[in-house]
Amino acid sequence: MMGPSHALSGAAVWLAGSWALDQFADYHQTPLAVAVGTAVCAGGALFPDLDLSGKVTRNQGGATVARTFGVFSLFLAEVMEKISLGVYYATKLSKDPKRNNGHRTLTHTIPFTVLVGWGTTALCAAYGKWAVVGILFFMIGLALRGLFDRWAERAGWVIVTLASAGAAWYTFANLPGDRGYPMIGLAVGVGCFVHILGDMITRAGVPILWPIPIKRRMWMMIGLPNKIALRTGSKAEVVVLRAAMTAVAVLAAVGLVAPSVLRKFNIDI
């Protein structure tokens, strides 16, 4: 799947989940909390592809998401890719093939998802608002890059960086400070998980079972069979899948916001 589809799926899942909690579990969030969770989940849904690096010294290549903050994120992607490759070789069994890059390995596993979600929560608990503002800055940048890819491409990474810094600062100024922020960790974790599911419906698949060894393989790639797998960039992805996810996101957002708007105008439902 391409960047925009990943980001969109993250946003749709978070909005739909927030709507379901609101409707059936009486769990209500402020519009700002919903917006923050949605942006962070969309960014989280791109995070695993930060393992696709390019040529840092020449400022070329890499996943779209690796170019969010220019050469800085490209460098981070290089580090993530090398760590992933290191973990691959450290845990590989005899039937796992040789690899020369770490893309779609460590960052596309369940333990990584849990670690990132837990790590984010721990950072927010330990450093409070300052951790929140840093994480928001990073995740909103990824989300902008993914959701508005054409705009981001034209605007360039400096504008994207400034826009995410502005959004993070606004949130910082408006969030209450005297509490933990478990929802942010959850949003990052859910985003990563949605990314893995998105890659699973493509042909290449993901090592979703790691670290469970199967037939002398630790890194078994699990994906859909060729016949029904989603081809990256195909009409099914770019038109059908994105339209469906946009519809889910919009309906959930309307469902969340409409009651309070109606209440404001004293309309009972």
Q: Interface with Zn ion includes 49 (CB under 5 A)?
A: yes
In terms of Cβ atoms closer than 10 Å to its own Cβ (0-12, 13-18, 19+), residue 92 is: middle
From 47-55, 59-67, 171-179, 241-249, span contacting Zn ion (CB under 5 A): 47-55
Does 237 bind Zn ion (CB under 5 A)? Our answer is no
For Zn ion, the closer of residues 213 and 223 by Cβ is: 223
Nearer of residues 165 and 201 to Zn ion, judged by Cβ: 201
Binding pattern for the stretch 174-213 against Zn ion, x by CB under 5 A and - elsewhere: -------------------------x--------------
| Residue 120 Cβ vs Zn ion, minimum distance, rounded to whole Å | 19
Q: How far apart are CA 22 and CA 10, in angstroms?
A: 18
Kindly state the smallest distance separating residue 82's Cβ from Zn ion, in Å: 17
In which residue are the tokens 């040789």 written? 98
Whole-angstrom distance, CA of residue 104 vs CA of residue 48:
8
H helices, E strands: number in the chain: 10, 2
Sequence-ordered list of residues with C-beta below 8 angstroms from that of 112, at least 6 positions apart, any chain: 48, 106, 192
Q: Which is nearer to Zn ion, 131 or 221 (CB)?
A: 221
Nearest distance, CB of residue 241 and Zn ion, angstroms? 15
Amino acid at 102: G
Q: Which residues bind Zn ion (CB under 5 A)?
A: 49, 199
